[in-house]
Structure 1
Amino acid sequence: MTREIVLDASSYQEKLTAKDYAKIGATKLIAKLTEGTNYVNPDIKLLINRAAAGGVTGFAFYHFGRFHNDNQAVKEANVFIKVAKEKVNAIKNTLLILDAEISNMPTSSVIAFLKVLRKAGFKAGFYTYKYLLPNFNLEKIKPYMDFFWLAAYPLGNKVAANKHPNFNYFPSAKYVDLWQYTDNLLGYDIDASITVTDNAVKLFNPEKVSKQDAPALHKASATWKKKSGTFVLGQKLKLHRSPHVDAPAIAELPKGSEVKFDATLQGPLRLWLRQPRNNGKYGYVVGKDKYGKKLGKFK
């Protein structure tokens, strides 16, 4: 199977730029979204936009659990789902993950959390560290998780790792889909994991599975609509490599340029147009800005 590097980012990685992500070269990201019942990552949209501009195409989200009983687990799961829908437009089959790394978290509460995710139509993931795994009954959790992510690396050691982990150190545990093997990939101070099953690849690569099973990549990928036309620029605009205003530019197009597009992406106000290019690639131009103002006219 193909091994893929998956990054793990929280607000601590808010300084990473699109160029940093491009240099790292990973195409998948799991971003921290919530913790307990009160914390929401204030940089979540920044992380998604910069990662996408740097070449990341697959996204999942995790919740840092703070619960010690089933009732609190259900409350936190519902907060996680609510924020995921509001902040990242999570749709059916998006991969949502429980980060279980506090002491005295009951197996029954982990199951209660995962059951809420599944009942709401999401793929349910479970994450923990190898040294904490004996605290949980993995066999009981297994029927309620779609994805198992396990961390195993020397703690307190910030030596930079490359994208080729030594599998002699792979944790001896069952059902692992994704192995987090470092907390400092290439010196960027970001956690990195590697896929070890086809299941992990499938969940992060919806183009390889049916639409019924495909998870959301991020808010942009869920709303593209096929629509062909020509857009005449009313001012000088950049043709971007991805549909994000901070994405690198392919070119700067002068006023009056005509852009032939084959699909549109309508955000709350901003409108993106997709231009087919050579070798199956695309360029992206803004048709309406963040205020809903048209930046040209349609022919």
Structure 2
Amino acid sequence: MTSFPLVADISSYQPDEPAFFQALKNQGVKAVIVKITQGSADGDAYINPKAKAQITNARAAGLLVHGYHYARFNGRQDAINEAKWFYQNATALGLGKESVLAVDAEDDALAHYATADVNAFLQYLIDQQHLNVDVYSMASWFWEKRLIQSELIAKNDWVANYGKSQPGIPNVGTWQFTNSFSVFGTGIDMSYDFHGYYTDPKIGYADGQLAIQVEQAPMPKIEIPVPDSWVDELGDTWHKEKGSFLLGMPLHLRWGARTDSAIIAMLPAGVIVSYDAWSRHGGFVWLRQPRANHQYGYITCRDARTDQAFGTFA
């Protein structure tokens, strides 16, 4: 399908036995990113109980190993506290400066505009002379400016966007394209590593600069079959369907399928919205509108509790 190397991310939900990592290796995976921690020493104080075995057995299978922290911080000092907890445990588990340490920024506990807090977390790692850092989040967080790509200290950028032919964000280094890659009898998260940041040991940061400069080129188009139904990164089930919806009342078109997602526009009654998928969640039936640059708008079309439609289907 593509020549880009594969990298898997795993947590305590995935196995830690050697056969699992050998199965990853056999399917062409080059590296794994292991969840190490969550929260801080005075907060969740969570350490993945399988992390040690996962790191050991992944390396034994010949895979490169990196680590990530699931963020729960809100505020600069809180972010630094979580970075300390992560770094302390990652290094204790044997992740050295050659490993990428990434922060997973997707939890609702984070500030709505989280760029400054994420940078405070990353800066702590850099201050410890750990220069190989990255940030993971959903494409919608970048669309809604919860994370501002140009202001982030980490420049690789690991973005999740499922069921698409491209990540939906420009200049992305690593793209989590699915959460259902089949291996060892289960579905797991899988990413394409465009620049080799996780999968090529020669690529990394030295003195704050990429050791190998990657020529910026248009994001390649990768054909990934879109199933008739799928579960997105927020846990909502979507169903493939093409159609048109005539608004019977003014409705908000949003960047996400949530009532608190950023508003693109207020569409007046009489507008026709073309859609390619629908989902029933949060008390509404949502439609997904394809937009330019592989982005999507979302609009409610029906009250899921009363089944009252807000317009008619063409």
Normalising by structure 2, report the TM-score: 0.56
Q: Is there any run of 5+ residues in structure 1 with no aligned partner, and where?
A: 155-167, 216-299
Residue 137 and residue 191 in structure 1: after superposition, are their counterparts in 2 closer, same or farther (change >3 A)? Answer: same
Query: AA paired with 2:57?
Result: R
Q: Name the counterpart of 1:59.
A: 65
Q: Name the counterpart of 1:94.
A: 99
Q: Name the counterpart of 1:151.
A: 160
Q: Name the counterpart of 1:204.
A: 199
Q: Is there any run of 5+ residues in structure 2 with no aligned partner, and where?
A: 212-314
Q: CA deviation at 1:113?
A: 0.6
Q: How does 1:59-138 map to 2 (within 5 A)?
A: 59-87=65-93, 89-103=94-108, 104-105=110-111, 106-122=114-130, 123-133=132-142, 134=144, 135-138=146-149
Matched residue of 2:29: which SS?
coil
Q: Is the Cα–Cα contact under 8 Å of residues 21 and 55 in structure 1 kept in the other structure?
A: no
Q: Is the Cα–Cα contact under 8 Å of residues 20 and 54 in structure 1 kept in the other structure?
A: no
Greater helix share, 1 or 2? Answer: 1
Greater RCO (Cα-Cα under 8 Å, separation 6 or more) = 1
* Residue from 155, 158, 169 that aligns with 1:173: 169
Residue 108 and residue 130 in structure 1: after superposition, are their counterparts in 2 closer, same or farther (change >3 A)? Answer: same
2:193 is the alignment partner of 1:186: no
Matched residues, number = 195
Hey, what's the Cα distance between the residues in 2 that align with 1:99 and 1:202? 16
Q: Is the Cα–Cα contact under 8 Å of residues 5 and 195 in structure 1 kept in the other structure?
A: yes
Q: Name the counterpart of 2:28.
A: 25
Q: Name the counterpart of 1:7.
A: 8
Q: CA deviation at 1:22?
A: 3.8
Q: How does 1:272-287 map to 2 (within 5 A)?
A: none
Residue 172 and residue 29 in structure 1: after superposition, are their counterparts in 2 closer, same or farther (change >3 A)? Answer: same
Residue 194 and residue 203 in structure 1: after superposition, are their counterparts in 2 closer, same or farther (change >3 A)? Answer: closer
Hey, what's the Cα distance between the residues in 1 that align with 2:173 and 2:51? 24
Hey, what's the Cα distance between the residues in 2 that align with 1:214 and 1:107? 21
Residue 204 and residue 120 in structure 1: after superposition, are their counterparts in 2 closer, same or farther (change >3 A)? Answer: farther
Runs of 4+ in 1 over 4 A off after TM superposition: 207-215
**Identity rate, percent:** 27
Q: CA deviation at 1:211?
A: 9.7
Hey, what's the Cα distance between the residues in 2 that align with 1:204 and 1:20? 17
Q: How does 1:238-249 map to 2 (within 5 A)?
A: none
Q: Is the Cα–Cα contact under 8 Å of residues 17 and 53 in structure 2 kept in the other structure?
A: no
